Amino acid sequence: MQNKIRLATAFLLAGLAIAAAGCGSSSSGGSDSDTFRVGLEAPLSGEQSTLGKGMLKGAEMAANQLNEKSGIGGKQVEVVPIDDAADPATGVKAAKSAIAAGLDGIVGPYNSGVGIETLPLYVKAGLVPIRLTSDDSTNGLGFTLQPMTYQIAPVASTALTNWQHAKTVAIAYDPTQNYTVSVSKALKDSLEKAGVTVTAFEKVQPGKNDYTDVVEKLAATKPDVIYAAVYFPEGGLIAKEMQEAGVESQCIADYASYDTGFVETAGIAAAQACPVVGVPAPEDFAGSAPKVAGYKDEFDEDPGTWSPYTYDSLKFLADGVEKAGGTDAKKLTNALNGVSGWKGWTGSVTIDPHNGNRRPATVVIVDTDAKGRLHVDEDWAKAVGAPY
């Protein structure tokens, strides 16, 4: 209910600003108030709303901590929810409204298919996005602290070959999303170069309640591994249906499925049988205990999958604004391009100035424990020499 109130308030303010003034933002994208307004674009409604609400709360936690000090540039920070519902058209409409109402910064979006449409709008408005998109098509549209396709696919390929020792792999992918299309193709190419036979490369239409036909088609090729490059609602169903059908192939879900929603959809038993390519859980990062405890105190629940990343993204933006002396896009971009060894909840951050991406990426293989919690797979980490 609290999130619905925040959303309704944000869009009401956006509508009033447009009606009263025609344009509530300056050419630099900034607001005219004494408040530093940071948009948080995420799927706050729809199938991915669990993920989006965790993103929102991570940003709100960071804003509250900044406000306990001096905010950003002496202004109190307000997080403005921007609900894109994981849909490009919805995202564009929501982004335009938020920009018109006035923004000083933007964190998000999460979905690359949405970001390829909304990120240019923020950039045109003079903002420097701190995005959570992973598709390489969003390279250079602001900065990100989470992994990109060119960083994810090699980890997935190495996991399948050096950890699972797969000789044959069947791939299912969502053809409607930029990221899942590009990562599945990159994985296929990498596996074939490594001498692995890709027995099937099957499209999965999102939004269905049953993928038995897809599972049967993939299993019929008798692969060592079935790899699902789909988002978590579909990934969870595929994992569940593989277990119920007694499919002998190992199930592995792609990074797009990495969220607690994957476990909720699949059920704990099926999720345990299907490792996920992802990032370390909120409590897996070194020194994270105080932040996890603080999140629980503030929201009376465990951190969401991406809460640490939006928390860090807002803190990262705040430090950049302080270093740049304001929100001028050119000065802020230069300041963030020079970041090396910045410390946050998600560990150390160094930015590649060629594309605004973090290096090295925090890509891992994740398991589900008996309580339905996601954690780094220790056997995988040992097999590939990962630092987690």
Whether the per-residue pLDDT at 23 is higher than 90: the answer is no
pLDDT digits (tens, 9 = 90+) for 113-148: 999 999 999 999 999 999 999 999 999 999 999 999
CATH number (3.40.50.2300, 2.40.50.140, 3.50.50.60, 3.40.190.10) of 149-278+364-384 reads 3.40.50.2300
Q: Are 46 and 114 in contact (CB under 8 A)?
A: no
Q: How many CB atoms lie within 10 A of CB 381?
A: 15
- Whole-number pLDDT of residue 156: 96
- CB proximity list for 248: less than 8 A, separation 6 or greater: 219
Q: Are 303 and 373 in contact (CB under 8 A)?
A: no
Whether the per-residue pLDDT at 11 is higher than 80: the answer is no
**Any bridge partners for residue 301, and if so which?**
none
Nearest-CA neighbor of 155 among 340, 387, 369, 356? 387
Share of the chain above pLDDT 70, in %: 91
**Strand-strand pairing, 374-376 and 364-368:** antiparallel
Confidence of residue 386 (pLDDT cuts 50, 70, 90): confident
CATH number (3.40.50.2300, 3.20.20.70, 3.40.50.300, 1.10.3470.10) of 2-147+286-355 reads 3.40.50.2300
Q: Answer whether 2-147+286-355 and 149-278+364-384 agree in fold.
A: yes
Whether the per-residue pLDDT at 2 is higher than 50: the answer is no
Confidence of residue 381 (pLDDT cuts 50, 70, 90): confident
How does 351-372 read in b/e, with b if 16+ C-beta sit within 10 Å? beeebbbbeebbbbbbbbeeee
Mean pLDDT of all residues in the chain? 91
| 3-state helix/strand/coil string of 130-146 | EECCCCHHHCCCCEECC
Spans of all domains in the chain: 2-147+286-355, 149-278+364-384
Q: Are 274 and 156 in contact (CB under 8 A)?
A: no
- Whole-number pLDDT of residue 334: 98
- Whole-number pLDDT of residue 385: 76
pLDDT digits (tens, 9 = 90+) for 242-294: 999 999 999 999 999 999 999 999 999 999 999 999 999 999 999 999 999 99
pLDDT digits (tens, 9 = 90+) for 71-116: 999 999 999 999 999 999 999 999 999 999 999 999 999 999 999 9
Q: Are 12 and 52 in contact (CB under 8 A)?
A: no
Confidence of residue 1 (pLDDT cuts 50, 70, 90): very low
Q: What mean pLDDT do residues 234-238 have?
A: 97
Q: What mean pLDDT do residues 9-27 have?
A: 38
Q: What mean pLDDT do residues 322-350 have?
A: 97
Six-digit token pair at 68?
Answer: 């306990």
Cα–Cα distance measured from residue 334 to residue 357, given in angstroms and rounded to the nearest whole number: 14
Angle at 268 (CA atoms; ends 175, 166), nearest 5 degrees: 55
Q: What mean pLDDT do residues 18-35 have?
A: 50
Cα–Cα distance measured from residue 293 to residue 300, given in angstroms and rounded to the nearest whole number: 10
Share of the chain above pLDDT 90, in %: 89
pLDDT digits (tens, 9 = 90+) for 152-189: 999 999 999 999 999 999 999 999 999 999 999 999 99
Q: What mean pLDDT do residues 198-206 have?
A: 97
